[in-house]
A and B are shown apart, each in its own frame.
Chain A
Amino acid sequence: MPTKIVTTLTEHTSRFRASTDALGEIRKFVSGQARQYGFGEEDIDDIRLAVDEACTNIIKHAYEWRDDKYIYIRIAMHNNEMLVSIYDNGKSFDAGRYSVPALQDQLDQKKRGGYGIYLIRKLMDKVEYRKQRSRNEIRMTKKR
């Protein structure tokens, strides 16, 4: 179960275990918030998938499958935009070095990964990465 950290009228923060077990709960949390904020079903689908991709990347790459770690998700509504910040304390991600793999190349090499960031950028209006001491943040915005 997520641990609720802050709940005000416009901002919610919850903590989730960094395990793929938690992905269903994470999707429920963000979809519920987006619905409360009045987003339509297509936008809710986009936000839910983007957050899942970001959290899956944290579980795999930042924490390298160590499920004693935590992911924090802060959601706020501001000027008709939903801001979703996802925090972790794992290995940081260098977004500048990311490039989208070509699907045919991935198939030829029997590879499967590398599309999470691409999807997040496609699905959300704005995506930023920040690092503050040992804490990484991916901040995504979706306009209503």
Chain B
Amino acid sequence: MSTFEIQKRTLSQVTVIEIFGELDAHTAPKLEEEFQQLIRQKNVQIIVNGSGLEYISSAGLGVFMAYIEDIRSHGGDIKISNLKPKVYNVFDLLGFPTLYDILDTENDALEQFQDNT
């Protein structure tokens, strides 16, 4: 069975979601619930730290696609950081780097939020 875990923390107005394991069609609903909850709570400045993410399929990328417009329409964003090269490659294959901020480190992502406020 695919394993996937989420840890959440707050860093000056920004919610950091650290994700671990494999994000596929089986585990994608967990991340989906997390985004839905953050939108309900109006916590829409989100960094997804993918340092522990070992694998992603298009079902996992689909979750990022489905919620980004809602989050941006609430004045927020999803910024993605710390991806392993093999995981970044999958984001890249679908053209994510042109439409999402994908940063090397969580700090770079945080600075981008701070620059925009």
User: Footprint of B on A, CB under 8 Å?
Assistant: 20-21, 23-25, 27, 42, 45, 48-49, 52-53, 56, 59-60, 103-104, 106-108, 110-113, 115-116, 118-119, 122
Q: How far is B70's CA from A79's CA once the two chains are assembled, in angstroms?
A: 50
Partner of A112, one of B62, B90, B93: B62
Given contacts A49-B90, A103-B94, A108-B69, contact A24 B22 (CB under 8 A): yes
| Chain B residues, Cβ within 8 Å of A42 | 86
Chain B interface SS verdict (over half): helix
Number of B residues near A (Cβ < 8 Å) is 29
12 A/B residue pairs, CB under 8 Å, sorted by A: A20-B2, A21-B1, A21-B26, A24-B1, A24-B3, A45-B86, A45-B89, A52-B24, A56-B59, A103-B98, A107-B65, A115-B62
B93 engages A122 (CB within 8 Å): yes
CB distance from A80 to the nearest CB of B (A): 24
| Chain A residues, Cβ within 8 Å of B57 | 23, 49, 52-53, 56
Task: Determine whether B39 belongs to the interface, using a CB cutoff of 8 Å to chain A.
Answer: no
Please provide the chain B residues from 44 to 82 with a CB less than 8 Å away from any CB of chain A in the complex: 55, 57-59, 61-63, 65-70
Task: Determine whether B96 belongs to the interface, using a CB cutoff of 8 Å to chain A.
Answer: yes
| Chain B residues, Cβ within 8 Å of A24 | 1-3, 22, 24, 26
CB distance from B28 to the nearest CB of A (A): 9
Q: How far is B60's CA from A112's CA once the two chains are assembled, in angstroms?
A: 9
Q: How far is B24's CA from A21's CA once the two chains are assembled, in angstroms?
A: 10
Given contacts A45-B86, A119-B93, contact A20 B24 (CB under 8 A): yes
| Chain A residues, Cβ within 8 Å of B89 | 45
Using CB atoms, name the residue of chain B closest to A20.
B26
| Chain B residues, Cβ within 8 Å of A45 | 86, 89
